[in-house]
Protein backbone atom coordinates (compact mmCIF):
# COMPACT_ATOMS: atom_id res chain seq x y z
CA UNK A 1 0.00 0.00 0.00
CA UNK A 2 2.87 2.34 0.85
CA UNK A 3 4.42 1.63 -2.53
CA UNK A 4 1.22 2.66 -4.34
CA UNK A 5 1.00 5.89 -2.31
CA UNK A 6 4.57 6.76 -3.25
CA UNK A 7 3.77 6.25 -6.93
CA UNK A 8 0.67 8.42 -6.64
CA UNK A 9 2.65 11.24 -4.99
CA UNK A 10 5.29 11.07 -7.74
CA UNK A 11 2.57 11.19 -10.40
CA UNK A 12 0.87 14.24 -8.86
CA UNK A 13 4.18 16.06 -8.46
CA UNK A 14 5.01 15.41 -12.12
CA UNK A 15 1.72 16.82 -13.43
CA UNK A 16 2.63 20.53 -13.27
CA UNK A 17 5.87 19.81 -15.14
CA UNK A 18 3.95 18.20 -18.00
CA UNK A 19 1.54 21.11 -18.13
CA UNK A 20 4.38 23.63 -18.27
CA UNK A 21 5.91 21.75 -21.22
CA UNK A 22 2.91 22.56 -23.40
CA UNK A 23 3.36 25.71 -25.52
CA UNK A 24 1.20 28.66 -24.46
CA UNK A 25 -1.79 29.37 -26.65
CA UNK A 26 -1.08 32.41 -28.81
CA UNK A 27 -3.41 35.36 -28.59
CA UNK A 28 -4.79 37.10 -31.63
CA UNK A 29 -3.76 40.74 -32.09
CA UNK A 30 -6.72 43.01 -31.52
CA UNK A 31 -8.80 44.21 -34.43
CA UNK A 32 -9.59 47.91 -34.45
CA UNK A 33 -12.21 50.05 -36.16
CA UNK A 34 -11.88 53.20 -38.25
CA UNK A 35 -13.87 55.26 -40.72
CA UNK A 36 -13.84 52.97 -43.74
CA UNK A 37 -11.89 53.77 -46.87
CA UNK A 38 -14.14 53.50 -49.98
CA UNK A 39 -12.39 50.20 -50.80
CA UNK A 40 -12.02 48.98 -47.19
CA UNK A 41 -14.24 47.52 -44.47
CA UNK A 42 -13.27 49.91 -41.65
CA UNK A 43 -11.45 47.13 -39.77
CA UNK A 44 -7.75 47.48 -38.97
CA UNK A 45 -5.30 44.62 -38.34
CA UNK A 46 -1.69 45.28 -37.37
CA UNK A 47 -1.98 48.84 -38.69
CA UNK A 48 -3.52 47.80 -42.02
CA UNK A 49 -7.12 48.37 -43.09
CA UNK A 50 -8.64 45.21 -44.52
CA UNK A 51 -9.85 45.55 -48.11
CA UNK A 52 -13.31 44.73 -49.38
CA UNK A 53 -13.76 41.32 -50.98
CA UNK A 54 -14.02 41.35 -54.75
CA UNK A 55 -17.40 39.81 -55.56
CA UNK A 56 -18.01 37.00 -58.02
CA UNK A 57 -19.33 39.66 -60.42
CA UNK A 58 -15.67 40.57 -61.03
CA UNK A 59 -14.65 37.05 -62.06
CA UNK A 60 -13.96 38.18 -65.63
CA UNK A 61 -11.24 40.52 -64.30
CA UNK A 62 -9.47 37.48 -62.85
CA UNK A 63 -9.37 35.92 -66.32
CA UNK A 64 -8.22 39.08 -68.15
CA UNK A 65 -5.53 38.51 -70.84
CA UNK A 66 -3.39 41.31 -69.37
CA UNK A 67 -2.86 39.21 -66.28
CA UNK A 68 -0.13 37.21 -68.00
CA UNK A 69 1.99 40.34 -68.52
CA UNK A 70 1.17 42.01 -65.22
CA UNK A 71 1.55 39.00 -62.93
CA UNK A 72 3.69 36.48 -64.85
CA UNK A 73 1.80 33.33 -63.69
CA UNK A 74 4.26 31.02 -65.46
CA UNK A 75 7.12 32.35 -63.35
CA UNK A 76 4.94 31.96 -60.27
CA UNK A 77 4.53 28.27 -61.04
CA UNK A 78 8.31 27.94 -61.35
CA UNK A 79 9.00 29.42 -57.93
CA UNK A 80 6.22 27.36 -56.33
CA UNK A 81 8.05 24.16 -57.35
CA UNK A 82 4.87 22.12 -57.62
CA UNK A 83 5.52 18.39 -58.00
CA UNK A 84 3.53 15.31 -58.94
CA UNK A 85 1.49 13.87 -56.09
CA UNK A 86 1.36 17.07 -54.05
CA UNK A 87 -1.75 18.37 -52.32
CA UNK A 88 -2.03 22.07 -53.07
CA UNK A 89 -4.69 24.38 -51.62
CA UNK A 90 -5.66 27.48 -53.58
CA UNK A 91 -7.33 29.55 -50.85
CA UNK A 92 -9.46 32.35 -52.21
CA UNK A 93 -9.41 30.49 -55.51
CA UNK A 94 -11.89 32.81 -57.20
CA UNK A 95 -12.58 31.67 -60.75
CA UNK A 96 -9.82 29.06 -60.52
CA UNK A 97 -7.23 30.90 -62.61
CA UNK A 98 -4.34 29.31 -60.71
CA UNK A 99 -6.23 26.17 -59.73
CA UNK A 100 -6.37 25.01 -63.34
CA UNK A 101 -2.71 25.88 -63.94
CA UNK A 102 -1.64 23.78 -60.96
CA UNK A 103 -3.93 20.77 -61.56
CA UNK A 104 -1.85 19.19 -64.38
CA UNK A 105 1.36 19.71 -62.39
CA UNK A 106 0.22 17.63 -59.39
CA UNK A 107 -1.04 14.88 -61.70
CA UNK A 108 -3.58 12.14 -61.08
CA UNK A 109 -2.10 11.17 -57.73
CA UNK A 110 -2.13 14.73 -56.46
CA UNK A 111 -4.96 17.21 -56.07
CA UNK A 112 -5.79 20.88 -55.85
CA UNK A 113 -8.21 22.07 -53.19
CA UNK A 114 -10.04 25.17 -54.39
CA UNK A 115 -11.32 27.00 -51.31
CA UNK A 116 -13.48 30.11 -51.51
CA UNK A 117 -16.18 31.85 -49.45
CA UNK A 118 -18.30 32.62 -52.53
CA UNK A 119 -20.33 29.72 -53.88
CA UNK A 120 -20.75 31.36 -57.33
CA UNK A 121 -16.95 31.32 -57.69
CA UNK A 122 -16.85 27.63 -56.81
CA UNK A 123 -19.63 27.02 -59.33
CA UNK A 124 -17.47 28.57 -62.05
CA UNK A 125 -14.63 26.20 -61.19
CA UNK A 126 -16.98 23.22 -61.11
CA UNK A 127 -18.38 24.03 -64.54
CA UNK A 128 -14.94 24.55 -66.07
CA UNK A 129 -13.58 21.35 -64.51
CA UNK A 130 -16.50 19.37 -65.90
CA UNK A 131 -16.16 20.93 -69.35
CA UNK A 132 -12.41 20.20 -69.50
CA UNK A 133 -12.62 16.83 -67.71
CA UNK A 134 -10.29 17.91 -64.92
CA UNK A 135 -10.80 15.40 -62.10
CA UNK A 136 -8.20 16.25 -59.49
CA UNK A 137 -9.82 19.42 -58.11
CA UNK A 138 -11.75 19.38 -54.83
CA UNK A 139 -14.11 22.28 -54.13
CA UNK A 140 -14.43 23.57 -50.57
CA UNK A 141 -16.82 26.23 -49.29
CA UNK A 142 -14.86 28.26 -46.77
CA UNK A 143 -16.06 30.67 -44.09
CA UNK A 144 -14.54 34.04 -43.23
CA UNK A 145 -12.64 32.38 -40.35
CA UNK A 146 -11.83 28.95 -41.74
CA UNK A 147 -10.70 27.76 -45.20
CA UNK A 148 -11.97 24.27 -44.29
CA UNK A 149 -8.82 22.39 -45.21
CA UNK A 150 -7.96 18.89 -43.92
CA UNK A 151 -5.60 18.82 -40.93
CA UNK A 152 -1.91 18.00 -41.50
CA UNK A 153 -2.62 17.04 -45.11
CA UNK A 154 -1.52 19.91 -47.38
CA UNK A 155 1.92 20.38 -48.94
CA UNK A 156 1.41 23.90 -50.26
CA UNK A 157 -1.13 26.68 -49.68
CA UNK A 158 -1.22 29.64 -52.05
CA UNK A 159 -2.92 32.97 -51.38
CA UNK A 160 -2.93 34.89 -54.65
CA UNK A 161 -4.08 38.52 -54.36
CA UNK A 162 -6.48 37.55 -51.58
CA UNK A 163 -4.97 37.66 -48.08
CA UNK A 164 -5.46 41.43 -47.81
CA UNK A 165 -9.23 40.79 -48.12
CA UNK A 166 -9.50 38.28 -45.24
CA UNK A 167 -11.93 39.65 -42.66
CA UNK A 168 -10.23 37.53 -39.99
CA UNK A 169 -6.61 37.16 -41.14
CA UNK A 170 -5.27 35.80 -37.85
CA UNK A 171 -7.90 33.08 -37.62
CA UNK A 172 -7.47 32.12 -41.27
CA UNK A 173 -3.69 31.79 -41.01
CA UNK A 174 -4.05 29.78 -37.79
CA UNK A 175 -6.33 27.28 -39.57
CA UNK A 176 -4.10 27.10 -42.64
CA UNK A 177 -1.04 26.31 -40.56
CA UNK A 178 -2.96 23.47 -38.92
CA UNK A 179 -3.67 22.09 -42.41
CA UNK A 180 -0.01 22.07 -43.46
CA UNK A 181 2.21 19.02 -43.21
CA UNK A 182 5.59 19.51 -41.49
CA UNK A 183 7.74 21.55 -43.91
CA UNK A 184 4.60 22.46 -45.85
CA UNK A 185 4.63 25.94 -47.36
CA UNK A 186 2.30 28.91 -47.04
CA UNK A 187 2.80 31.38 -49.89
CA UNK A 188 1.52 34.97 -50.01
CA UNK A 189 1.31 36.47 -53.49
CA UNK A 190 0.54 40.16 -53.06
CA UNK A 191 0.76 43.25 -55.25
CA UNK A 192 3.75 45.38 -54.19
CA UNK A 193 2.72 48.26 -51.95
CA UNK A 194 6.28 49.59 -52.24
CA UNK A 195 5.90 50.21 -55.99
CA UNK A 196 3.75 53.17 -57.11
CA UNK A 197 3.92 51.89 -60.69
CA UNK A 198 1.78 48.88 -59.71
CA UNK A 199 -1.63 50.18 -60.76
CA UNK A 200 -3.74 48.49 -58.07
CA UNK A 201 -5.90 50.14 -55.40
CA UNK A 202 -3.78 50.81 -52.27
CA UNK A 203 -5.74 48.56 -49.92
CA UNK A 204 -5.35 45.70 -52.40
CA UNK A 205 -1.55 45.92 -52.16
CA UNK A 206 0.76 44.78 -49.35
CA UNK A 207 4.40 45.38 -48.54
CA UNK A 208 6.70 42.49 -47.71
CA UNK A 209 7.34 44.12 -44.32
CA UNK A 210 3.61 44.09 -43.51
CA UNK A 211 3.24 40.42 -44.40
CA UNK A 212 6.24 39.53 -42.22
CA UNK A 213 4.77 41.59 -39.37
CA UNK A 214 1.44 39.79 -39.56
CA UNK A 215 3.15 36.40 -39.51
CA UNK A 216 5.16 37.16 -36.35
CA UNK A 217 2.67 35.48 -33.95
CA UNK A 218 3.08 32.17 -35.79
CA UNK A 219 6.41 30.97 -34.47
CA UNK A 220 6.11 27.54 -36.10
CA UNK A 221 6.40 29.24 -39.50
CA UNK A 222 9.70 30.39 -40.96
CA UNK A 223 10.16 32.95 -43.73
CA UNK A 224 12.38 31.17 -46.24
CA UNK A 225 12.38 33.41 -49.30
CA UNK A 226 10.71 36.26 -51.17
CA UNK A 227 10.59 36.14 -54.96
CA UNK A 228 9.75 39.13 -57.13
CA UNK A 229 7.36 39.01 -60.08
CA UNK A 230 6.43 41.94 -62.33
CA UNK A 231 3.79 43.42 -60.02
CA UNK A 232 3.89 41.07 -57.05
CA UNK A 233 5.89 39.64 -54.17
CA UNK A 234 5.87 35.88 -53.63
CA UNK A 235 6.52 35.59 -49.90
CA UNK A 236 7.21 32.00 -48.85
CA UNK A 237 6.92 30.54 -45.35
CA UNK A 238 7.67 26.96 -44.34
CA UNK A 239 6.25 25.03 -41.39
CA UNK A 240 8.99 23.90 -39.04
CA UNK A 241 9.31 20.25 -38.12
CA UNK A 242 8.05 19.25 -34.69
CA UNK A 243 11.47 18.69 -33.13
CA UNK A 244 10.04 16.90 -30.10
CA UNK A 245 8.24 14.34 -32.26
CA UNK A 246 11.31 13.84 -34.40
CA UNK A 247 13.33 13.02 -31.28
CA UNK A 248 10.67 10.55 -30.13
CA UNK A 249 10.88 8.74 -33.47
CA UNK A 250 14.63 8.26 -32.99
Among 28-37, 86-95, 136-145, the least confident range: 28-37
**pLDDT tens figures, 226-242:** 999 999 999 999 999 87
Burial code of 114-138, b = ≥16 C-beta within 10 A, e = fewer?
bbbbbeebbebbeeebeeeebebbe
Residue among 122, 116, 213, 208 at smallest CA distance from 165: 116
**pLDDT tens figures, 124-162:** 999 999 999 999 999 999 999 999 999 999 999 999 999
Global pTM exceeds 0.85: yes
- Whole-angstrom Cα distance, residue 219 to residue 110? 29
- Whole-angstrom Cα distance, residue 193 to residue 220? 26
- Whole-angstrom Cα distance, residue 13 to residue 6? 11
Domain ranges for the chain = 65-241
Domain covering 65-241 in this structure, CATH number: 3.40.50.150
**Residues pairing with 223 in the sheet:** 237
Identify the three-state secondary structure at position 92.
coil
Q: How far is CA 56 from the centre of its chain?
A: 20
Q: Cα–Cα distances in Å, from 12 out to 50, 53, 162? A: 48, 52, 49
Amino acid sequence: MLHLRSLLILFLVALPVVALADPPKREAPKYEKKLADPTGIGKVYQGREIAQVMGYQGASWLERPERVKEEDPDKLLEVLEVKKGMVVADVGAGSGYHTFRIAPLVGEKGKVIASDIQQPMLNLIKEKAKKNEVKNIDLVKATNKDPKLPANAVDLIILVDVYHEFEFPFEMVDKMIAALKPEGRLVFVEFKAEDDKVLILPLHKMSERQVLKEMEPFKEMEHVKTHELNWQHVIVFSKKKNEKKEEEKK
